[in-house]
Amino acid sequence: QEHCIIIGAGHGGVQAAASLRQEAYQGRITLVSDEPDLPYHKPPLSKGFLKAPEAPVLELRNEAFYRDNRIDLMRGARVTAIEPASRTVSLADGGKLAYTNLILATGSRPRLPELDGVTLDGVLSLRSLADARRLNEGLSGPKRIAIIGGGFIGLELAHTLAGLGHAVTLIEAVPRLLARSVAPAMANHIQTRSAEAGIDFHVGARISHIVGVNGKVDAIKLADGANFPADLVILGTGALPNVELAAEAGLVVNNGIEVDAFLRCSDPAILAIGDCTNFHQVHAGQRLRLECVQNATDQGRNAAKTIVGKPEAYRELPWFWSDQGDMKLQTAGLSLGADHTITTGALQDNAFAIHHFRAGKLIAVDTINRPAEHMLARRLIGTRATPTLADVQAGPQRLKEMLK
Ligand code: FAD
């Protein structure tokens, strides 16, 4: 009998299992998760979870779903090795499982900066529900919280924690926020508005070390001598793909596990999806790795199609969202390589869209509090009707007509 093993039960792994059944896959499906909880949505961890930690966790699927779809969900189980020659995986408890197809959906983990003091008590990072619970335990009473890193997770946490009444300082090494993700005008807007919400920013600031007293965090010291007292330090310094299993099994790994257009690794019985995967992104015209729910979920769907013999090249348009206080940031497409931008709407209204063009064609739209424009962009970019500069300048009516 066919047996598909999926390593990792996050957004990608759970979708792959669900899609295999939707595609009428008849074999066994085993979903191996090293977490104890039922698989859950990760985005709320930096948003709603800390505001209402006692509220039920948002599960990706309820327990009955796994039973009804004959998906064997192994919780608290860790794959420790893959042997492609014998098509087996080893588990931490000593067990072995044989597969006909294997999907690596191992996700990513927080990147820890090389700083003295990162292992002190009170220095935390956020990836899993267990991390969020640990953070929540540290929040009894008002705290002084220093966040290292001005990326999406750092900024979301800064807003959530400031909103809960904590004193939040955010320290970023490069001169602006979200440097890898959004245009300078967007980053400036976010910084200005976040500062108005009470977040204390230090950008372009080099940290010397994290200061500890009796093994517990006490402050952050900057290279210029500035000192920020802190009860908690949160590391928002990016993520590293979980590729070690793949690399040790001899699969090709290069900033993520390399896959082809059908998400097959260098061993075609093994596929990889989601945060851990390096693939050729057709819209960007280059290989890269993406860390977003859309990519993990859509690659889960395509991986299932590959396995059931209905392969479809992966070419979904990336999209993403981030909630920061009263700003709903949404991105459609990738602005990599943009040579021109147009902004519609007004920054002072906290509702606007930045359109990115490459060689006269719209390639990405980043919006704040403009959900309809975001949806429109998702439907237009990369289609036969990809708008040009003139189309965007002509206004939303023209863009809507292009969909007809
Ligand atoms: P994951 O969801 O990380 O799942 C991987 C799973 O594999 C994990 O449970 C891991 O423990 C497990 N695993 C790894 N190795 C093994 C092993 N050897 N054996 C067994 N299990 C293993 N994206 C958005 O688009 N919008 C957002 O607003 C957003 N907010 C976020 C907020 C936070 C706090 C975080 C952490 C992420 C956020 N993301 C957001 C990113 C999004 O959650 C990820 O892109 C998505 O979870 C990737 O899915 P995945 O299946 O690739 O990996």
Nearest by Cα to 31 from 7, 3, 12: 7
For the chain, the straight-line distance linking the first and the last C-alpha, in angstroms and rounded, comes to 47
Closest residue to atom 53 of ligand 1, CA basis: 107
Residue 350: predicted pLDDT = 97
Centre of ligand 1 from the C-alpha of residue 107, in Å: 5
Tell me, in angstroms, the distance from the centre of ligand 1 to residue 105's CA. Answer: 9
CA 276 / ligand 1 centre spacing (Å): 9
d(CA 230, CA 136): 16
CA of 300 to the centre of ligand 1 (A): 13
The Cα–Cα gap between 343 and 168 comes to 31
How far is 321 from 43, CA to CA, in rounded Å? 9
Question: Could you tell me the distance, in angstroms and rounded to a whole number, from the CA of residue 344 to the centre of ligand 1?
Answer: 33
User: What number does the ligand 1 atom closest to the CA of 13 have?
Assistant: 51
Residue nearest to atom 38 of ligand 1 (CA): 43
Closest ligand 1 atom to the C-alpha of 239? 36
Residue from 5, 11, 276 whose mutation best tests the ligand 1 pocket (most atoms within 8 A of CB): 11
Nearest CA to ligand 1 atom 19: 78
3-state SS of 179-219 is: CCCCCHHHHHHHHHHHHHCCCEEEECCCEEEEEEECCEEEE
Q: How far is the CA of 128 from the centre of ligand 1 (A)?
A: 8
Ligand 1 atom having least distance to the Cα of 300: 51
Residues 379-396: tens digit of each pLDDT: 999 787 889 999 999 988
Which protein residues touch ligand 1 with a CB less than 6 Å away? 7-13, 32-35, 42-43, 45-46, 78-79, 105-107, 126-127, 153, 242, 245, 274-275, 291-294, 296, 320-322
- Ligand 1 atom 47 nearest Cα: 11
Instruction: Output the CA 8–ligand 1 centroid distance in Å.
Output: 9
Closest CA to 279 of 252, 250, 304: 252
Tell me, in angstroms, the distance from the centre of ligand 1 to residue 9's CA. Answer: 9
Three-class secondary structure assignment of the chain: CCEEEEECCCHHHHHHHHHHHHCCCCCEEEEECCCCCCCECCHHHHCHHHHCCCCCCCECCCHHHHHHCCEEEECCCCEEEEECCCCEEEECCCCEEECCEEEECCCEEECCCCCCCCCCECEEECCCHHHHHHHHHCCCCCCEEEEECCCHHHHHHHHHHHHCCCEEEEEECCCCCCCCCCCHHHHHHHHHHHHHCCCEEEECCCEEEEEEECCEEEEEEECCCCEEECCEEEECCCEEECCHHHHHCCCCECCCEECCCCCECCCCCEEECHHHEEEEECCCCEEECCCCHHHHHHHHHHHHHHHCCCCCCCCCCCEEEEEECCEEEEEEECCCCCCEEEEEEEHHHCEEEEEEEECCEEEEEEEECCHHHHHHHHHHCCCCCCCEHHHHHHCHHHHHHHCC
Query: For atom 32 of ligand 1, which residue has the closest CA?
Result: 43
Q: Ligand 1 centroid to 306 CA: how many Å?
A: 22
pLDDT per position as a tens digit, 31-41 = 999 999 999 99
CA 338 to chain centre: 22
Q: How far is the CA of 42 from the centre of ligand 1 (A)?
A: 6
- pLDDT by residue for the chain (404 residues), tens only, comes to 999 999 999 999 999 999 999 999 999 999 999 999 999 999 999 998 999 988 888 999 999 999 999 999 999 999 999 999 999 999 999 999 999 999 999 999 999 999 999 999 999 999 999 999 999 999 988 899 999 999 999 999 999 999 999 999 999 999 999 988 899 999 999 999 999 999 999 999 999 999 999 999 999 999 999 999 999 999 999 999 999 999 999 999 999 999 999 999 999 999 999 999 999 999 999 999 999 999 999 999 999 999 999 999 999 999 999 999 999 999 999 999 999 999 999 999 999 999 999 999 999 999 999 999 999 999 999 787 889 999 999 988 888 888 88
Alpha carbon nearest to ligand 1 atom 44, residue = 292
Q: Which pLDDT score is estimated for 172?
A: 97
* Residue nearest ligand 1's atom 18 by CA: 79
CA of 205 to the centre of ligand 1 (A): 29
The residue whose CB lies within 8 Å of the most ligand 1 atoms, and thus the one to mutate among 42, 91, 295, is: 42
Please give the Cα distance from 240 to 110 (Å, whole number).
6
C-alpha 178/C-alpha 71 separation (Å) is: 39
Atom of ligand 1 nearest to the CA of 319: 25
The Cα 225–Cα 222 span in angstroms is 5
Distance (Å) of CA 165 to CA 104, 141, 156, 168: 40, 9, 15, 9
